[in-house]
Amino acid sequence: MAIKLEKVVEKFYQGLEEGRILGRKCPKCGAVEFPPVYACNSCGNLETEWFEISGKGKMHSIVMPAPLSSKPEYKALGKFAYGEIELEEGARFNAVVRGITKKKRREILESGRMPVDVKAAIYQRDGYKTVVFDLVEEE
Amino acid sequence: MAVMNQTKLHPYSRSVSIIGVGCTPFMYTVDNEETNGLTEGELFGYAALKAMEDAGVNPKDIDFYFHGEASPLNGSNYLTPNVQIANWFGMKGKGSIHHSEACCTGYYAVEEAVNAVASGKYDCVLSGCVEFGDSLAIPNHPYKREKMTMDKFLQTTAWLYDRNYTRSLMAGQELIYDDAAEWYKRTRGITDQEMDDTLNWMCINNRKNASVNPLAIERKTYEELAKEFGFDDVMDYMRSPYNPKMGDFLRAGGLEIKCDGAAAVIVCATDMVDRFMGNKSHKAIEVLGIGCSACEATTPHFEVNATEEAVRQVYEVTGVKPEEIDLFYANDFIITSHLIAAEIAGYLPYGEGWKYICEGRTAYDGDKPINTNGGRTSFGHAHAASGLADLYEAVHQMRGEAGEGQVKKLPKTTMLRGYGGAQNICTYIIRTAD
- What DSSP string describes B277-290? HTT--SPPEEEEEE
Contact by Cβ (8 Å): B103, B70: yes
Cβ contact, residue pair B168, A95, below 8 Å: no
Q: Tell the burial category of A47 from Cβ atoms under 10 Å away from its Cβ (0-12, 13-18, 19+).
A: middle
Candidates A61, A92, A135, A112; CA nearest to B185 is A61
A63: nearest CB among B3, B164, B182? B182
The minimum CA-CA distance between B170 and chain A, rounded to whole Å, is 7
Measured in whole angstroms, the distance separating CA A59 from the mean position of its chain's CA atoms is 10
Of all helices (H) and strands (E), which one includes residue B156? helix B150-157
Is A115's pLDDT higher than 80?
yes
- Establish if A94 touches chain B: CB-CB under 8 angstroms: yes
A35/B169 touch (CB, cutoff 8 Å), yes or no: yes
The DSSP-derived string for B3-34 is ----------SS-EEEEEEEEPPPB-GGGSTT
Question: Which residue spans within B325-412 are E strands per DSSP?
Answer: 327-330
- B169/A41 Cβ within 8 A: no
CB within 8 Å of B279: residues ≥ 6 apart: B56
Contact B168, B297 (CB under 8 A): no
CB within 8 Å: B170 and A74 = yes
Is residue A139 over pLDDT 70? no
Q: Which pTM was predicted? A: 0.97
pLDDT at B1 over 80: no
List pLDDT tens digits, range B57-105: 999 999 999 999 999 998 999 999 999 999 999 999 999 999 999 999 9
Question: Could you tell me the pLDDT band of residue B156, with boundaries at 50, 70 and 90?
Answer: confident
| Each residue's pLDDT tens digit, B210-251 | 999 999 999 999 999 999 999 999 999 999 999 999 999 999
Cα–Cα distances (Å) from A1 to A41, A45, A89, B277, in that order, read 18, 12, 22, 59
A46 CB within 8 Å of a chain B CB: no
Q: Which of A93, A125, A130, A132 to mutate to test the interface with B (most CBs of B within 10 A)?
A: A93
Kindly calculate the radius of gyration of chain A based on its CA atoms and give it in whole angstroms. 16
pLDDT for B267 beyond 90: yes
Are residues B286 and B412 in contact, defined by beta-carbon separation less than 8 angstroms? Answer: no
Query: Which pLDDT belongs to residue B154?
Result: 84
Name residues 103-122 of chain A within 8 A of B (Cβ). none
Bridge partner residues of B137 (DSSP): B145
Average pLDDT, stretch B336-345?
97
- Mark A90-101 as b/e (b = at least 16 C-beta within 10 Å): bbbbbbbbbbbe
- Chain A residues 65-84 with a CB less than 8 Å from chain B: 65-70, 74, 82-84
Is B300's CB within 8 Å of A92's CB? yes
Instruction: Please report the DSSP string for B199-241 in residue order.
Output: HHHHHHHHHHHHTT-TT-S----HHHHHHHTT-SSHHHHHTST
Report, as an integer, the average pLDDT of A60-77: 96
Contact between B253 and B203 under an 8 Å Cβ cutoff? The reply is yes
A49-52 and A22-25 strand pairing: antiparallel
A62 touches chain B (CB under 8 A): yes
Contact criterion met (CB < 8 Å) for B3 and A42? yes
Longest dimension (CA), chain A: 50
**For residue A1, pLDDT beyond 80:** no
Average pLDDT, chain B: 97
DSSP summary character for residue A114: P
Least confident of A9-13, B83-87, B418-422, B428-432: B418-422
What is the pairing mode between strands A56-59 and A80-87? Answer: antiparallel
The mean pLDDT of B162-171, rounded to a whole number, is: 97
CB neighbourhood size of A137 (10 A): 9
Q: Which residue of B has its CA nearest to A114?
A: B186
**For B414-424, what is the mean pLDDT?**
95
pLDDT above 80 for B24? yes
A132 touches chain B (CB under 8 A): yes
pLDDT tens digits for B242-260?
999 999 999 999 999 999 9
Number of residues that this document lists for chain A: 139
Facing residue for A94 by CB, picked from B1, B172, B177:
B172
Neighboring chain B residues of A41 at a CB cutoff of 8 Å: 3, 5
Q: Is A92 on the interface with B (CB under 8 A)?
A: yes
pLDDT at B190: 98
A9/B164 Cβ within 8 A: yes
pLDDT digits (tens, 9 = 90+) for B25-63: 999 999 999 999 999 999 999 999 999 999 999 999 999
The pLDDT value recorded for residue B3 is 85
Rounded Cα distance between B296 and B166, Å, is 9
A66/B246 touch (CB, cutoff 8 Å), yes or no? yes
Residue B5: is its pLDDT beyond 90?
yes
Q: What is the pLDDT of residues B110-146, one digit of tens each?
A: 999 999 999 999 999 999 999 999 999 999 999 999 9
- List Cβ neighbours of A76 (8 Å cut-off, separation of 6 or more): none
Q: What is the pLDDT of residues A31-63, one digit of tens each?
A: 999 999 999 999 999 999 999 999 999 999 999
Q: How far apart are CA B91 and CA A131, in angstroms?
A: 52
Chain A residues with CB under 8 Å of B245 CB are 66-67
End-to-end CA distance of chain B: 42
3-class secondary structure per residue, A41-83: CCCCCCCCEEEECCCEEEECCCECCCHHHCCHHHHHHCCEEEE
Question: How far B283 CA lies from chain A's nearest CA (Å)?
Answer: 44
Average pLDDT over residues A11-18: 98
The length of chain B, given as a count of residues: 434
Cβ-defined contacts of B278-281 (< 8 Å, 24+): B278/B56, B279/B56, B280/B19, B280/B54, B280/B55, B280/B56
Query: Does the pLDDT of residue B352 top 80, yes or no?
Result: yes
Interface test with A, best of B248, B301, B309 (most A CBs within 10 A): B248
Q: Show residues of chain A in contact with B165, CB under 8 Å.
A: 9, 35
| String of DSSP letters for B75-107 | HHS-SSHHHHHGGGGT-TT-EEEEE--GGGHHH
- Residue B393 CA, chain-centre distance (Å), reads 10
Helix or strand run (H / E) with residue B339: helix B336-344
Whether residue B168 and residue A125 make contact (CB cut-off 8 A), yes or no, is yes
Tell me the β-bridge partners of A104.
Answer: none
Angle between helices B302-318 and B179-188 (to 10 degrees): 70
Q: What is the mean pLDDT of residues B173-197?
A: 97
Nearest residue in chain B measured CA to CA from A40 = B3
Tell me the average pLDDT across A106-116: 95
How close is the nearest chain B Cα to the Cα of A48, in Å?
Answer: 16
